[in-house]
Amino acid sequence: MNGRTSGEVLVIGSGGREHALACALARSSRVRRVLVCPGNGGTTALPSADGASIEAVAAPLSGAGDLAPLIALARDRRVALTVVGPEAPLAAGIVDAFGAAGLRCFGPTAACARIESSKAWAKALMARAGVPTPRCQVFDDYTSAREHLRRVDHPVVIKASGLAAGKGVALPEDLEQAEQALIQIMVERRHGAAGDRVLIEERVAGIEVSMLALCDGRRARLLPAAQDHKRLDDGDRGPNTGGMGACAPVAVVTPELRCAVEQRVFQPVLDLLQAEGTPYVGVLYAGLMLTAAGPQVLEFNCRFGDPEAQVLLPLLAGDLVAAIDACLDGALAPEHVRCTGQAAAAVVLAASGYPGSPRRGDAIEGVAAAARIEGVTVFHSGTARRAGELVTDGGRVLSVTGVGSDLARALDRAYRGAACIRFTGMQYRRDIGVRAGQGGPCERAPAPDRAARESTPRTTMG
């Protein structure tokens, strides 16, 4: 199915990542219209200022595994290319199903998406490929896992192996919290079957960065390093969220470090998957901890990050559709991931109650004023249109991205944009990117102090 996309493209998903994808695809001269299914309040019949129009379309889906309505939609609308945002449809085999139906679809197959949908499988893959990653043991029964927790003398991270909507990772501060997290995952089955297998991993200290690459099955071409801000509040405090902001590039990731990550992380994984007959085509996201002993892979994701996409896609200098076509045709070249050399910062505006139960239905004002600021784009996540009015409709409501010649300018623009926007209970961090020069937010391993007690285990959502 080699070819050159032309005409309509379809984006699957409804978040800020998918809005950023739609905007990047709409800039392509190869694209007439971008359909987004199901989309959000920002993708509803938008005439684009400098590219193709963007339009939200509905499909009668019963869940991430329900692929037939999407195939019917792609056929009915004569979609030339489908780009998948979230992990769930990738894990459910959307790329395989579209391929079998003769439709071009960008993303990894279900076999490759196991790199995210089965953390146990990903760990075994990393071991076989020699990729540096923290020590870990995998358990299928609660009693053995609990005994292991009581034996280890280092801080741990407990992970549900399967997909848990980003909520399956606990960072306990002590043994009591660790046992509580294990009970929630394995006994109470808070994440269902996703937690029937758990990983107990050594918690390592360092600077956390997100490195994403486009992959054509043989080669990975890295995008600039990005940094997510997972905690709700300034100073990396408060509960974990899906991500409250991002910036790129990250100063601590030098060209030498990028090269080392490409050679020691991405290439061995791609080589092994190709040798095993399941070449990886799509976006590969490595969540890395830069430790004193070098980079360690904490996780792989089989897709763009959110909010990382909202800072990386605006930095692409070239045509995203051409890059995707090159991935699908096994011909990805360095020029396909050429970037502008600028910096970008995204500030997430979240609803009151997030990350628990967000308020919905509040009127949003000021988006147009924000978007008029030079270098500012407002990407929608949890928004909807009710009788023509833009209202909140989810936890992370908007991402305000600023692009500038350096990070300081990008941040200034993003925050000036954020200051234009209002809705009841709006919350956002004021310190996105402030430490990016020194490495930015990080998860530091606590001392293995079992005497320290906190009430509940923290649970990550990213």
Q: How far is the CB of 244 from ligand GLY (least distance, A)?
A: 10
Total chain residues near ligand GLY (CB under 6 A): 7
Residue 86: cis peptide before it, omega within 30 degrees of 0: no
* DSSP 8-class letter at 342: -
Q: How far is the CB of 4 from ligand GLY (least distance, A)?
A: 30
Taking the least distance from each CB to ligand GLY, the nearer of 121 and 142 is 121
Minimum Å gap between C-beta 209 and ligand GLY is 11
**Shortest CB 119 distance to ligand GLY, Å:** 13
Q: Is the dihedral of CA 279, 283, 288, 290 positive or negative?
A: positive
Backbone angles phi and psi of 116, in degrees to 5: -110, -35
C-alpha closest to that of 227 among 84, 430, 434, 406: 434
Quote the least distance from Cβ 462 to ligand GLY, whole Å.
Answer: 4
Binder of ligand GLY out of 89, 108, 355, 462 (CB under 6 A): 462
Nearer to ligand GLY, 280 or 304 (CB): 304
Residue 175 or 351: the one with the smaller Cβ distance to ligand GLY is 351
Task: Rule CB under 6 A: say whether 308 interacts with ligand GLY.
Answer: yes
Q: Both ends of the chain: CA-CA distance in Å? A: 34
Q: What is the rounded distance in angstroms from the CA atom of residue 15 to the CA atom of residue 91?
A: 18
Nearer to ligand GLY, 177 or 240 (CB): 240
Is residue 378 within 8 Å of 400, Cβ to Cβ?
Answer: yes
Q: Give me the least distance between CB of 284 and ligand GLY, in Å please.
A: 13
d(CA 12, CA 254): 34
> With CB under 6 A as the contact rule, which of the stretches 72-80, 301-309, 350-358, 360-368 interacts with ligand GLY?
301-309
5 vs 401, which CB is nearer to ligand GLY?
401
Give the residue with the Cβ less far from ligand GLY, 184 or 227: 227
Q: Among residues 79 and 213, whose Cβ is nearest to ligand GLY?
A: 213
- Choose between 173 and 208: whose C-beta lies nearer to ligand GLY: 208
- Give residue 286's Cα distance to chain centre: 10
Least distance between ligand GLY and beta carbon 243 (Å): 4
Is the Cβ of residue 5 or residue 381 nearer to ligand GLY in the bound state? 381
Q: How far is the CB of 283 from ligand GLY (least distance, A)?
A: 11
Please compute Rg for the chain using Cα positions: 21
Task: Say whether residue 13 binds ligand GLY (CB under 6 A).
Answer: no
Quick one: tokens of 229? 């801000």
Near ligand GLY by CB under 6 A: residue from 15, 224, 279, 305 = 305
3-class secondary-structure state, position 223: coil
Alpha-helix runs per DSSP H in 3-153: 16-26, 68-76, 87-91, 94-100, 110-117, 119-129, 142-151
In the region spanning residues 91 to 110, those forming contacts with ligand GLY, defined by CB under 6 A, are none
116 near ligand GLY (CB under 6 A): no
User: What minimum distance in Å lies between the beta carbon of 232 and ligand GLY?
Assistant: 14
Residues in contact with 177: Cβ distance below 8 Å, sequence separation at least 6, in sequence order: 170, 454, 456, 457
- Is 301 a binder of ligand GLY (CB under 6 A)? yes
Q: What's the Cα-to-Cα distance from 253 to each of 119, 190, 224, 226, 249, rounded to whole Å? A: 25, 37, 9, 9, 8
Judged by CB under 6 A, the chain residues 206 through 265 that form the site for ligand GLY are: 228, 243
Q: CB-side exposure of 322: number of CA atoms within 13 Å?
A: 14
Q: Which two tokens stand for residue 67?
A: 């692929």
Q: By CB under 6 A, tell whether 201 contacts ligand GLY.
A: no
306 near ligand GLY, judged by CB under 6 A: yes
How far, in Å, CA of 378 to CA of 371, rounded? 6
Q: Nearest-CA neighbor of 213 among 303, 112, 326, 329?
A: 303
Tell whether residue 89 is a contact of ligand GLY (CB under 6 A): no
Q: Which is nearer to ligand GLY, 146 or 230 (CB)?
A: 230
Which residues bind to ligand GLY, rule: CB under 6 A? 228, 243, 301, 305-306, 308, 462
